[in-house]
Amino acid sequence: MKIGLNAGHTLTGPGSGAVGMLTESIETRRVSQALTQMFEAAGCEVADCTVERASSQGAYLSAAVEMANRQDLDWFISVHFNSDAARRGQGVEVYTYKGRQYPDAVAVCEEIAALGFKNRGVKEGTGLYVIRKTKAKAMLIEVCFVNDPDASVYQEKFDEICRAIAAAVMSSGAAYAPLPPSGNAAGQKPDASSAAAKKKRYVKVVWPKLSVRRSLSWDASAVCGVVQKDEVFTVVEGPIAVGNGRMYRLKSGLFITAAEKYVRAYEK
């Protein structure tokens, strides 16, 4: 897997990002540097798509996309931090093209939320230049908000957050080496004697388009989204009998049919 990593915004000057208890342009680089070490230690190739300075926000965006598009990437990931004028915003969210619920993007939200953040979900990001213009599959991660309560949790759990992102992105790919224990130096090989991770259950969509539901119901009113063929999701329960059919409960809290005509379940 080859991943293009963009630390969002320029370091200083035009387009340098949000400022609060956290400074976005500094933290995006901290996260990207940590992710680079983790991805490379696990066997992924990382392409640096970060732009340090630009004459304008538009110039920064154009340069970042140009860096990404000159390479053959499996993922383009842009790291950002959120803000709102009232300084009351909370949580993690990810933007993708047309709001596609890529399993990696869904997992990023789930894994960061599990560390104490609100899960704002995977959202429509077609209007974002780096999502719309990159040739590779792309996600823009808003790790959290730059002010409390998020900022304090982020500072306390920085390493765990970075490891959560890395694990989420690699979870549906090929068999990668385990992430090194927290605190390992960059490039240090994982301890081969470490215990193997417990197998997880997944479900892969094999039908062109499939509804996901907010509750255990076949009623149309329970439908809350559509997933695409080849998307993969983590299963936490099921199959569960629902009327004349069965469903799986996904890690996101949503439900999907368990009918083999539409999905394929497996362990990994």
Nearest to 77 by CA among 22, 23, 137: 137
- pLDDT band at residue 201, thresholds of 50, 70 and 90? confident
Q: Is the pLDDT of residue 200 over 80?
A: no
Q: Running DSSP on this structure, what letter comes out for residue 23? A: B
- What is the share, in percent, of the chain residues with pLDDT greater than 70? 89
pLDDT for position 187? 41
pLDDT for position 118? 92
Burial of 253: CB neighbours in 10 Å, binned 0-12, 13-18, 19+: exposed
Which residue did the predictor score with more confidence, 200 or 209? 209
pTM of the model: 0.69
Q: Is the pLDDT of residue 5 over 80?
A: yes
Range of lowest pLDDT (111-120, 142-151, 166-175): 166-175
pLDDT for position 172? 53
pLDDT for position 252? 72
d(CA 154, CA 257): 36
pLDDT tens by residue, 152-189:
999 999 999 999 999 999 875 444 444 555 544 344 44
Range of lowest pLDDT (68-77, 178-187, 195-204): 178-187
CA dihedral 54, 58, 60, 65 (to 10 degrees): -150
pLDDT for position 194? 39
Tokens representing 232 are: 């993969």
pLDDT for position 196? 40
pLDDT for position 85? 82
Find the helix packing angle between 158-170 and 24-41, rounded to 10°: 50
Q: How far is CA 243 from CA 44, 216, 224, in A?
A: 44, 9, 19
Alpha helix segments (H runs only) across 2-157 = 24-41, 57-69, 103-113, 129-133, 150-156
- The CATH T-level fold of domain 201-267 is SH3 type barrels. (2.30.30)
pLDDT for position 262? 94
**Across 190-210, average pLDDT:** 68
User: What residues contact 220, with CB distance under 8 A and at least 6 apart?
Assistant: none
**Across 42-64, average pLDDT:** 92
Q: Is the pLDDT of residue 133 over 80?
A: yes
Look-up: residue for tokens 């329970």?
222
CB 83 within 8 A of CB 40: no
Tokens representing 15 are: 């387009």
d(CA 252, CA 259): 19
pLDDT for position 154? 96
- pLDDT band at residue 239, thresholds of 50, 70 and 90? very high
The domain segmentation of the chain, as residue ranges, is 2-170, 201-267
Q: Is the pLDDT of residue 123 over 70?
A: yes
Nearest to 234 by CA among 87, 105, 81, 68: 105
- The CATH T-level fold of domain 2-170 is Aminopeptidase (3.40.630)
Q: Is the pLDDT of residue 135 over 90?
A: yes
